[in-house]
Amino acid sequence: MLRAHSVRFVGPAALWARRHYGLPVPVVTHHHHLDPSPLNPVLEKRVIEASDCVITDSQFAKRQLAEELGVRTDHVQVVYCGVGPKYAPGPRDEALARRWNIAGKRVLLSLGPLVARKNPALLIETFAEIRRAAGDDVSLVWIGSGPLRAALEALVKKLGLDGSVVFTGYLPEADKVPMLNLADVFVFASLLEGFPLAPQEAMSCGKPVVAFRAASLGEMIEDGATGFLVEPHDRVAFADRVVRLLREPAMRARFGAAAAERVDRNFRWDLTVRRVQKVYQEALDEFRRAR
């Protein structure tokens, strides 16, 4: 079997190699989601159609292939990404909280690169509304680096949020779990995702998530059970749900426990591995039957 771990960059080479060398093997391609690009009909569409099997990580990504590229999807299998067991609820590390100047604060946390797709500017603007409603003892922490940092720091200053928004920059993988366990609520403003790891990791640590009802997030987050989903760009509703969770510790605890249980039941890496192995075996069996 030839496995292409990306449609655009490896898919064409795998298909060419099979043809050039006359390899009697299926090509299984992994796909996450389509970013806007004029190359999608040229590369992604051709590779998806020519692959024997495609594994993608959400029903949203599968629908996207049909709706945006018009490709057949009978050979597309959905296998969700997983979370490792190290992502687990833990005590708040007060020394770490002091390091980031959030000791004694209620913490909203987000994680990801500072790029437009993650919608950080909208989240900061929404945070200003949250802080007015919930009080001055709320901080927003963003873990991750990216090209928008300077512009976002200017936005923080413009909105009068100096000292209440923390950009940590890049943090090593080992620091992620202690940081997640500083959070009261995980906030996620992205509007385009295949199946993002960050909200799953927060859920696995027992944190409720507030996000937009966009892309694949409805497949991960149960609205009103493990967090809240609101319509895209609805800052008022987003702020309202966050404030509700900040004001109601019992709800936070209930949602957080349900989030951790949902991850444990559906989104662990061992489940992902078994499902991928099953798809590989089925692709091999089907290819042999067809030959």
Rounded CA-CA distance 62/212 in Å is 19
pLDDT score of 244 more than 90 = yes
Q: What is the DSSP letter of 34?
A: P
The answer to whether residue 291 scores a pLDDT higher than 90 is no
Backbone angles phi, psi at 119, to 5 degrees: 65, 40
Given a contact cutoff of 8 angstroms between Cβ atoms, the answer to whether 216 and 59 are in contact is yes
3-state secondary structure 53-96: EEEECCHHHHHHHHHHHCCCCCCEEECCCCECCCCCCCCCCHHH
Q: Are 209 and 219 in contact (CB under 8 A)?
A: no
The CB density around residue 291, as the number of other CB atoms within 10 Å, is: 7
pLDDT for the residue 241: 98
Burial class (CB in 10 A: 0-12, 13-18, 19+), 150: exposed
- Computed over every residue of the chain, the mean pLDDT equals 97
Length of the chain: 291
Task: Give dist(CA 195, CA 198) in Å, integer.
Answer: 9
pLDDT of the residue at 181: 98
| Average pLDDT of span 29-57 | 96
pLDDT tens digits, 67-102 = 999 999 999 999 999 999 999 999 999 999 999 999
pLDDT tens digit sequence for 53-69:
999 999 999 999 999 99
pLDDT tens across 115-174, in order? 999 999 999 999 999 999 999 999 999 999 999 999 999 999 999 999 999 999 999 988
> Does residue 186 carry a pLDDT above 90?
yes
Query: What is the distance in angstroms between the CA of the first residue and the CA of the last residue of the chain?
Result: 14
Nearest to 183 by CA among 79, 75, 101, 110: 110
Interatomic CA distance for residues 276 and 288, integer angstroms: 18
Going along the chain from its start, the domains and CATH numbers come out as: 2-82+268-290 (3.40.50.2000), 94-266 (3.40.50.2000)
* pLDDT the model gives residue 28: 98
In one letter, which amino acid is 162?
D
